[in-house]
């Protein structure tokens, strides 16, 4: 037969949730609200443990500055300005090479080229050219004309103004810069230095003066086929008649 256990040997039961709440003075709080608080506490403790664990492992959270802060912390070497990016200079320039060179014409050269480079791309000089009348070291400008006079032109003082432009030293006599081109004595090379005059027109000018005599005035050049009033106006200041 089974014996009833003695009173002092009864198993102690754990206190219920209700009794715990009563002891804490929360007996009137709904059990659902208490359970929700417990869940929040557990989640918070878990998050703190995760952060502490990451820091202990050596992990760090990178700080990324905002757009305004990034702008304030721009490096001193930055070239950005409020007015926008700087405008770069042209990488090429165009130059008209004329006079006593092998192949007169319009040439494209890299920016920073010099007069000597222009003479080179035009095939070099002809025999009898006077390079002493040209500053070969001068830097070129876009759209200018480089004229290489002949020794005969320099001696006669008939160097066109283009040969003296933008720093050229001119002849040792110093009288050619204002002389212009004498259309009664100039050869084909000298005539081609005039605006609108190519090899064919230069040949016509020489043929006309040989057939009809020298030109009495600058305007007489318009009797040459192919030279009208408009073309004459473009060369009026550059020609003389002696």
pLDDT tens-digit series, residues 12-67 = 555 565 666 666 666 666 666 667 777 777 777 777 777 766 555 554 444 455 54
Domains of the chain: 90-179 (3.10.20), 180-242 (1.10.150.320)
* CA atoms within a 13 Å half-sphere pointing along the CA-CB vector of 145: 17
When pLDDT is cut at 50, 70 and 90, the band that residue 225 belongs to is very high
What pLDDT score does 31 carry? 65
Query: Considering only CA atoms, which of 166, 163, 165, 170 is closest in space to residue 186?
Result: 163
What pLDDT score does 165 carry? 44
CB-based contact 103:198 (threshold 8 Å): no
Task: Evaluate if residue 221 carries a pLDDT over 90.
Answer: yes
Q: Is 131 exposed, middle or buried (CB count within 10 Å of its CB: 0-12, 13-18, 19+)?
A: middle
């Amino acid at each position: 037969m089974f014996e009833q256990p003695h009173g002092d040997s009864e198993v102690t039961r754990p206190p219920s949730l209700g009794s715990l709440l009563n002891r804490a003075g929360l007996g009137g709080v709904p059990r659902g609200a208490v359970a929700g608080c417990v869940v929040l506490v557990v989640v918070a403790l878990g998050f703190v443990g995760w952060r502490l664990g990451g820091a202990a492992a050596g992990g760090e959270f990178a700080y990324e500055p905002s757009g305004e802060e990034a702008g304030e912390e721009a490096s001193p070497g930055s070239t950005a300005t409020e007015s926008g990016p700087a405008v770069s200079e042209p990488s090429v320039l165009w130059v008209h090479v004329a006079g006593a060179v092998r192949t007169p014409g319009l040439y494209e050269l890299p920016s920073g080229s010099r007069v000597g480079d222009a003479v080179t791309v035009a095939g070099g000089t002809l025999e009898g050219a006077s390079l002493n009348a040209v500053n070969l070291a001068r830097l070129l400008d876009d759209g200018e004309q480089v004229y290489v006079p002949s020794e005969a032109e320099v001696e006669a003082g008939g160097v066109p103004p283009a040969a003296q432009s933008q720093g050229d030293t001119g002849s040792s006599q110093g009288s050619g810069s204002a002389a212009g081109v004498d259309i009664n004595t100039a050869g084909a090379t000298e005539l081609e230095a005039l605006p609108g005059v190519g090899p064919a027109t230069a040949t016509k000018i020489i043929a006309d003066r040989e057939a009809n005599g020298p030109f009495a005035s600058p305007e007489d050049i318009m009797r040459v086929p192919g030279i009208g009033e408009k073309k004459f106006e473009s060369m009026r200041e550059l020609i003389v008649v002696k």
